[in-house]
Amino acid sequence: MSNLNSTLNSLAKPFTGLAPWLLRLTLGIAFFLHGYSKFPLPPEDMVGWFGSIGIPAPEIISSMVAIGETTAGVGIILGGLLSSSLGHLITRLSGGTMIVIMIGAFSIAHADWFITAELFQSEQIFLFAIGTYFAIKGND
């Protein structure tokens, strides 16, 4: 067991710096694409749906979601490229934005998913979890 672990450690060691980037790029691109698909603003389909379920100011809220998703996606990637306290801050704020957006998505669009198999078989739980990771860890 110890030899296998040592072998795996030696194989993985050159790639440990890439591991956070796999999460960062996947999350950043996914969030950017989710938001970008809602352009041009306001996203008419989302406005209609928000209005039908009683969300106030659906044009403003849906536009804020689209802008939040695109900027948080870019921010997660950009924050990692900046090796300063500013990059750390951008990463954490972008992760926090993702948490807020995903809590909104869970409570508005997927309220029936809470603690069900469907939740854990969706991409949304991973967007939330990885966003939370970056909100907590930043660039550390």
Kindly report, residue by residue over 6-54, the tens digit of the pLDDT: 999 999 999 999 999 999 999 999 999 999 999 999 999 999 999 999 9
Distance CA 113, CA 121 (A): 10
User: Is 5's pLDDT higher than 80?
Assistant: yes
Alpha helices in 37-57 (DSSP H): 44-52
Q: Does 14 sit behind a cis peptide bond, omega within 30 degrees of 0 on the bond before it? A: no
Question: Which residue, chain included where needed, has tokens 């979890």?
Answer: 129
Q: What is the mean pLDDT of the chain?
A: 93
State the pLDDT at residue 109.
80
Secondary structure percentages of the chain, helix, strand, coil, to 5:
80, 0, 20
User: Is 1's pLDDT higher than 80?
Assistant: no
More confident residue, 113 or 85: 85
